[in-house]
Chains A and B, each alone.
Chain A
């Protein structure tokens, strides 16, 4: 993985020292809240409903055991013993005290981590496929590209004050696990002519109150042109993006208002100039970065213990079924550690759980950990012979829930339990659905089903791209939930369609129950997944199941 050089180290330490002074000046009254707020936000410190919240970047979701242990230490020493992993592959601490935050940031800097650019109208943490560098179907590891973009965008003087925040995701596989089409810029590594690698670049995707699937602006961008091209996109956006209305300021509106063709023309015009300005330093840097992401030294050993455990142990078998994914080395597996035990808060891990994951990564996983946007942890490189031992250790720590990709593997934002922007709670809805799935006992039979819950229109819980999406709203001070169906965040991206009138909180779990029953009745065979059935039969039968008393099928 990437290691800081002395420039990176000094930069991060200096920022912590600056922030320490700013916090002191706030506490002694030299700075007002109005003066201090932009400074704390620049360092990832938000004020939420009950406390401050510190958002720490995990670049492209990659961590090692040392970093994970440091997160555990921070959770214990300065927070309430846990951290919350988010859909942007970040980690959030929900209860830090203002005076402790500089110490927390110093503790992070010790392990090459920080909270810079996790807020504000700048380029945010660059995300990537959580199976990067490991997936069997991968064309190339997206992380060197993501790291190049991270370095380029960190403290970039021209892009410190964009019209609005800016999110970039990179995928290196034909299967899009990074939701690239829902990002301001979504980058997919593709093969171009003669086995050369290049990028498909999409712009103007985003969820939020106006969800848009990104448009491809360049089908095959040569690898060498990445930074000048992305810089050109940002320059055009910075110049013509709206600043009069916060709700129309993301690049999706710029692309929408000008049209993708006109936007592309402007970008290409800039690009002709930018390309000359870069002069190859970026390519040399990419090569240096790439060397740091070399594949681990794979162990060559028989996988015998794996097959024996599989034959012997049904619990292990069901874990393997859902939580393992094919690795590019056939003797290895990608192991996903579910942070979605039925009834738990999606994405939360206690300090002890973090340490278990760190220990397993160190002992069996070439010291690599990933955080997925689906709010799970991943051990990307586990030799198959070690999977039974990993599973046994996870079981002991309450981390062996075998539900990855199933109905209880729910994405949920913090919602109104924590978030200042939220209009309704997400967590209790997720807990209720997961508990119900356990009661039903048929989630394996139900199969692939992505339920996504957001507690407001900003859509941090990705509800628009959930097979079942749930959006919590405020109706005269009471929580109310809209349901959408048919969303898809992968390479066949689609936005969900609203079923009709919203439901009060207590009716959401029964509604999801009816949707699942309807799907089981309608699917053509056991292999037809929820999304495929929905695409085949359409909204009508699901609507009939949700609103049995309604003669009309009109929306609200």
Chain B
């Protein structure tokens, strides 16, 4: 049986530099994890994913489980997604460099 749908964000990597990007509420790609849109409807999430797969400026889109943090912004559930949202732990070379 397929796993029940859980709220998620739509994420991918940027074609030009590989940076992690998220779909925002306006349907644009943002590099700020906090600005991502939390997708709570399964059909909508799948529709967005299918559309993203046809886009050329991003690579490997997928849905990543997320929960709303206390401030309402989406927060990663899995350690992998948490690292993608911040950058590597050994150097401030990822998103943490700009924050």
Chain A residues with a Cβ under 8 A of chain B: 26-27, 29, 32-33, 47-52, 80, 94-95, 97-99, 345, 348, 416-418, 422, 424-425, 427-428, 431, 474, 477-479
Contact = CB atoms under 8 A, between A and B. Distances in A.
Contacts of A477: 77-80
Interface string B60-84: 1000000000000000011110011
B51 to A, nearest CB: 15
A42 to B, nearest CB: 17
B20 to A, nearest CB: 6
Interface of B: 13, 15-20, 56, 59-60, 77-80, 83-84, 87-91, 93-95
Given A416-B79, A474-B79, A47 B18 contact: yes
A414 to B, nearest CB: 8
A99 B59 CA distance: 15
Contacts of A422: 80
Chain B at the A interface: SS class: loop
Given A33-B59, A47-B18, A345 B13 contact: no
Nearest to B13: A47
Given A32-B56, A47-B13, A51-B17, A478 B79 contact: yes
A98 B83 contact: no
A98 B15 contact: yes
A9 to B, nearest CB: 30
B16 A98 contact: yes
Contacts of B91: 80, 345
Contact of B89 (A33, A348, A428, A478): A428
A269 to B, nearest CB: 44
Given A32-B56, A50-B94, A417 B89 contact: yes
30 contacts: A27-B15, A32-B56, A47-B13, A47-B18, A47-B59, A49-B20, A49-B84, A50-B19, A50-B20, A50-B84, A50-B87, A51-B18, A52-B17, A80-B91, A94-B93, A95-B93, A97-B18, A98-B16, A98-B17, A345-B90, A348-B90, A417-B90, A422-B80, A424-B79, A427-B88, A427-B90, A474-B80, A477-B78, A477-B80, A479-B79
Shortest 6 CB-CB contacts between residues of A and residues of B: A417-B88, A477-B78, A51-B18, A52-B18, A97-B17, A345-B90
Contacts of B15: 26-27, 33, 98
A52 B19 CA distance: 8
Contacts of B90: 345, 348, 417, 427-428, 431
B93 A80 contact: yes
B72 to A, nearest CB: 21
B88 A50 contact: yes
A223 B12 CA distance: 51
Contacts of B79: 416, 424, 474, 477-479
Contacts of A95: 17, 93
A427 B17 contact: no
A345 B89 CA distance: 10
Given A50-B88, A52-B17, A477-B80, 9 more contacts: A33-B15, A49-B83, A50-B20, A50-B94, A50-B95, A51-B18, A345-B91, A424-B79, A427-B89
A204 B36 CA distance: 47
A103 to B, nearest CB: 14
Contacts of B60: 33, 47
